[in-house]
Amino acid sequence: MATADGGAERAFLVNEGPKKGVSYPIKLAYCGECTMPIEYCEYYVNYEKCKEWLQKNLPREFEKLSVTKEGEGDVEKKDDGGSGEEKKKRQTRGGKGLMKAKKKVEPQGIRMWTASRGKKKKVTIVVGLASYEIDLKDASKFFASKFSCGSSVSGDDEIVIQGDVKDDLFDYLPEKWSQIEEDDIEDMGEKK
Amino acid sequence: MFKKFIPKEMVTNINNAKSSVQKGIRHQVLDQMPFAEDYIDQILPKKEALKIVKCQDHIEILAAQNGELLFFRHRDGDLYPTLKLLHKYPFILPHMQVDKGAIGFVLSGANIMCPGLTSPGARMTRVDKDTVVAIMAEGKDTAIAIGLTKLSTDDIISKNKGVGVENIHFLNDGLWQMKAVK
Ligand SMILES: [Zn+2]
B39: left (phi over 0), alpha (psi -120 to 50) or beta: alpha
Residue A12 lies in a domain: no
Q: How many domains does chain A have?
A: 2
Same domain, A41 and A73: yes
Percent with pLDDT over 70 in chain B = 100
Q: Residue A119 belongs to a domain with what CATH number?
A: 3.30.780.10
Could you give the strand order of the β-sheet that contains B51-55, starting from the edge strand earlier in sequence? B11-16, B51-55, B59-63, B69-74, B79-81
> Which is more confidently placed, A131 or B143?
B143
pLDDT score for A67: 60
Window B:8-37, CB contacts with A under 8 Å:
35
User: Contact B171/B147 with Cβ under 8 angstroms?
Assistant: no
Q: B40 phi and psi, to 5 degrees?
A: -60, -35
pLDDT tens digits, residue range B117-140?
999 999 999 999 999 999 999 999
Domain of A136 in residue numbering reads as 110-191
Same domain, A182 and A135: yes
Residue A2 lies in a domain: no
Residue A130 lies in a domain: yes
Using a CB–CB cutoff of 8 Å, tell me whether B66 touches chain A.
Answer: no
Using a CB–CB cutoff of 8 Å, tell me whether A46 touches chain B.
Answer: no
Same domain, A133 and A91: no
Window B:100-129, CB contacts with A under 8 Å:
103-104, 107, 123-126
Q: A16 phi and psi, to 5 degrees?
A: -110, 15
pTM: 0.65
Mean pLDDT for B9-15 is 88
The 3 state secondary structure assigned to B108-144 is CCCCEECHHHHCCCCEEECCCCCCEEEEEECCCCCCC
Residue partners of A13: CB distance under 8 A and separation at least 6 = B94, B95, B96, B97, B123, B124, B125
Q: Distance, in angstroms, between B74 CA and closest chain A CA?
A: 24
Angle at A44 between CA A39 and CA A47, to 5 degrees: 85
